[in-house]
Amino acid sequence: MKGSRFSNRLEAIPPSKLKVDFSLTKKEGVISLSIGEPDFETPFEIEQAGIASIQNGYTFYSDGAGLPQLRKAISKYLDRHYGLSYSSSDEILVTVGASEAIDIALRALVNEGDEVLLPVPSYISYAPLIELAGGKVVAVPLHEDKAFRLQAQDLENAITPLTKLLILNYPHNPTGAILEPKDLAAIAKVAVAHDLLVITDEIYADLTYGKKPCSIAAYPGMKERTLYISGFSKAFAMTGWRLGYVCGPSDIITRLKKIHNFTLLAAPTISQFAAVDALEHEEEETIKMREAYNARRLYLIEALKSMELPCFTPEGAFYVFPNIAGRGLSSDEFVSLLFSEEKLLVIPGTAFGEEGEGFIRISYAYSLDVLKEAMKRLAHFLKAHPVR
């Protein structure tokens, strides 16, 4: 055998800083505010729909594109909530989580050497998946003083003749930022002018506080160049059910189906039946969870303010992204010391790229009681490590 037995592309990708977290969370006395997973159980009626599908014998492969009734439910849901119109017959593909949708979208669209614009800091999976698809990541920095909203001029400045694709993720992980309609309109104008394709990951769209979410796919000239990705993990507390979807032009969806069929064949049938119930009957449960997240968000904002720890006010998702730059510690050092001294686990901003240096990410997908104890520990730590 010549050379390494492993893929050069894979070996070039460093391990995720989030991967270590699962073992640390099991240690006695540890409070983890690290993982972006709802602490709520899947709503009862959704569970029952999944159980009923088993009892009724629906345990076989579904249509590769997803159950027809689920694709219809997705189409109606997106039209009702976001004014997006997608045909259930050829513009929607049900996937194994939104993660699969992102992966196969990049593999279907990116050629060797294509440049992909990625606003940073960013969700940890985007850059590795771009590189595994043969693309080149071009970072477009997001700025705290601009509310971590992608600026159209920054986007314009990053475009070259090799630029093919833009990835958007709003509400944003890790910052909780959203895009206003004026931001989306300006970004859409740049995308159309430069004939860019867009992947918009809107998994947190239903977890927006105080403002109605809007999608770039709804703007003039964007539907034909945009892949809209979402799923059930966050808004319906269904992380373990592993179900997502991607919507877009039929010619692109056809290419995604090809990869999907060769690698996974179909998403889990039982999960799909549960998801139909989620979309058709359980929106009230999402509202209840959103209200609980909002109460936690408001508590954290006030708690951090009382500690004089600068923090952008998030308007979506379930994260805060405090600025710890004045403490004389790097993000990694801050997180390591916080864990060793207080048994409080958060995520360094650098887990989301170099642009995350000087920040930490705290998830509020945990009960208020847990958050209150965590903030006591954080306050104690900050007193021991004052601003320098």
Q: What are the structural domains, with CATH classification, of the chain?
A: 8-42+284-382 (3.90.1150.10), 44-281 (3.40.640.10)
Distances (CA, A) of 25 to 20, 35, 162, 167, 348: 9, 10, 43, 31, 15
Low-confidence ranges of the chain (pLDDT < 70): 1, 17-24
**Tokens linked to 288:** 């209840």
Count other Cβ atoms within 10 Å, centred on residue 57. 7
3 state DSSP class of 101: helix
The candidate with the shortest Cα–Cα distance to 274, out of 79, 13, 49, 96, is 49
Predicted confidence at residue 388, as pLDDT, reads 76
As beta bridge partners, residue 245 has 94, 230
Element containing residue 138 per DSSP (H, E)? strand 136-141
Predicted confidence at residue 21, as pLDDT, reads 55
Tell how far CA 313 is from the center of its chain: 18
Is pTM beyond 0.85? Reply is yes
Element containing residue 342 per DSSP (H, E)? helix 331-342
**Tokens linked to 157:** 């400045």
Predicted confidence at residue 179, as pLDDT, reads 97
Those residues with Cβ within 8 angstroms of residue 23's Cβ, 6 or more apart along the chain or in another chain? none
Q: Is the peptide bond before 121 cis (omega within 30 degrees of 0)?
A: yes
The candidate with the shortest Cα–Cα distance to 238, out of 379, 26, 37, is 37
Q: Where are the beta strands (DSSP E) in 277-370?
A: 319-320, 344-345, 347-348, 360-363
Count other Cβ atoms within 10 Å, centred on residue 218. 18
Count other Cβ atoms within 10 Å, centred on residue 119. 27
The candidate with the shortest Cα–Cα distance to 52, out of 276, 232, 265, 244, is 276
Those residues with Cβ within 8 angstroms of residue 188's Cβ, 6 or more apart along the chain or in another chain? 216, 219, 220, 221, 222
3 state DSSP class of 158: helix
Q: How far apart are CA 17 and CA 38, in angstroms?
A: 20
Predicted confidence at residue 212, as pLDDT, reads 87
Pairing of strands 163-168, 197-201: parallel
Those residues with Cβ within 8 angstroms of residue 154's Cβ, 6 or more apart along the chain or in another chain? 140, 141
3 state DSSP class of 58: coil
Q: How far apart are CA 157 and CA 135, in angstroms?
A: 19
The amino acid that residue 303 corresponds to is A
Distances (CA, A) of 382 to 46, 192, 332, 379: 43, 47, 15, 5
Phi, psi of 360, rounded to the nearest 5 degrees: -130, 155
